[in-house]
Chain A
Amino acid sequence: MSFLVIAEHDNAELKGATLNTVAAAKAIGGDIAVLVAGAGCAAVAEAAAKVEGVSKVLLADNSAYEHQLAENVAKLVADLGKDYSHILAPATTTGKNMLPRAAALLDVQPISDIIAVESADTFKRPIYAGNVIATVQSSDAIKVISVRTTAFDAVAVEGGSAAVESVDIADDAGVSTFVGEELAKSDRPELTAASVVISGGRGMQNGDNFEMLYKLADKLGAAVGASRAAVDAGFVPNDMQVGQTGKIVAPDLYIAVGISGAIQHLAGMKDSKVIVAINKDEEAPIFSVADYGLVADLFEAVPELEAKL
């Protein structure tokens, strides 16, 4: 079996999601090639070549791929992917945008968001907002798979010594152009990569009160997230949303503050190693998944917690 793993990167750095995706390929077993498609991204290819378990790196360095436009990258992936038994990408917004398009070009029904490998053609994936786990078998010649990164432990950044091959294809479909990007700037770790995540819900009452969580986060080196209720109420921007339709996180420690625990929120954080819930409503469903529950007014408990750390 042979795997083509699509690297997640920003032309400067190889992102951690790639390591989890390589891990999923390793769980099936076979030769693993990593495709780095971008512009001015040679450093990313160098980094990918060192990743544990990678036997080859394909570098497609061309302005057509600079912003990961799905129309262009999907064509490249479909072209290169014909020679592999499996094509895998992380189930990030970049992967989810591009991969189904590549699959359709190959006439393949992709399998989204796998959380476990049963065999080379059979995988587990969550459906119905995580309320049900389906075991799905593919009959397509090429398996096209997106990987829920939190479900696979990352392979080591070092340990491999793969060769980097340049790919001389420049697919510009000519139907889309990149206009701009507004990325939230923060000194705190990224939500999906943080080992500690503190999330606030409707109980925070307003956006200013999130300052309390930021302070606590800085003490713990944590990232700050939010429930959909808090995002919908306009307290914080939507890239902070943890849940089935937002970010899926699985940190070592997840602290839910003023979050009731709607099923779609739980779907985004229930694989965290340790869950703490702080909520004044002792009937809140969040307590049914929390390892440690504290029934208290968050406006007293959070500052006290910060002071005691």
Chain B
Amino acid sequence: MKVLVAVKRVVDYNVKVRPKADGTDVDTANVKMSINPFCEIAVEEAVRLKEKGVVSEIVAVSMGSKQCQEQIRTALALGADRGILVETDAELQPLAVAKCLKAIVDKEEPQMVILGKQSIDGDNNQTGQMLGALTGMGQGTFASEVTVEGGDVKVTREIDGGLQTVELKLPAIVTTDLRLNEPRYASLPNIMKAKKKPLDTTTPDELGVDITPRTKTLNVEPPAERQAGVKVADVAELVEKLKNEAKVI
């Protein structure tokens, strides 16, 4: 079966971003960009399903500027077979991304779409669920285990307080949580091979999708700083402070 994997270009997780001085946006000039870690887990899961013989083709999709090709190439180096870039320099919000993905799903007709549960820039945690609504597919979000059995996929989900398992009819949507797998490193030969894999480019217009933003960011600011308190000398002083100063025990 065919699997579609969504990959997003984001500020690398090791970079500490800061708001611009005028508060219009975060400062991403000269910052290292990478594939969103949750998306990397999604690629890895698709590749593992291919290695098990469940999946025959993996299509990696990204959206945004031309540079998103880099993240598609990363996915191709990890084992995806071909890539699709939906190119636009306009702001893409999760609803618009879900609509573009829906248009690609209609064309490609994958049996499964695997996405990261959230991206580490916007922290929205929405796209997979919205793609589920638009396609009518079932959704296994925050997955920690994925098993394909015949025409169904069983997904174990990380929920508050434990784990939940659901069974979805294929085609279905899966969004990855951190512990679904540990992504491999791309080997040099695979990075070289990835450069020759096909990568098609389209646009939201060509897909017939209106990407007009629905929300506007009015301001970005650093969070309220918490002041460091005092160092206590020993456990006795700690207990005394907690009892008499903070009055929390």
Contact = CB atoms under 8 A, between A and B. Distances in A.
A and B part of one assembly: yes
Interface of A: 67, 69-71, 74, 92-94, 96-105, 107-113, 122, 126-140, 173-184, 190, 192, 196, 220, 228, 232, 238-239, 244-245, 247, 252-253, 263, 270, 273-276, 282, 287-296, 301, 304-305, 308-309
Contact of A139 (B95, B129, B172, B215): B215
Contacts of B94: 100, 109-110
Given A127-B122, A128-B120, A183-B161, A287 B141 contact: no
A177 B236 CA distance: 54
A129 B11 CA distance: 12
Interface of B: 11, 16-19, 26, 93-95, 98, 118, 120-127, 129-134, 136-139, 141-142, 144, 154, 157-169, 172, 177-179, 213-223, 226, 228-232, 234-236, 238-239, 241-242, 246, 248-249
Contact of A104 (B134, B228, B231): B134
Nearest to A96: B125
A111 B168 CA distance: 27
Contacts of A263: 16
18 contacts: A97-B141, A102-B133, A104-B95, A109-B94, A131-B17, A132-B19, A133-B223, A136-B216, A138-B215, A176-B168, A178-B164, A196-B249, A228-B178, A253-B249, A274-B242, A292-B241, A292-B242, A309-B249
Given A132-B220, A179-B154, 7 more contacts: A67-B164, A71-B139, A109-B214, A132-B221, A136-B217, A137-B215, A175-B168
A133 B220 contact: yes
Contacts of B166: 69, 176-179
Nearest to A252: B248
B216 A109 contact: no
Contacts of B163: 181-183, 239
A287 to B, nearest CB: 6
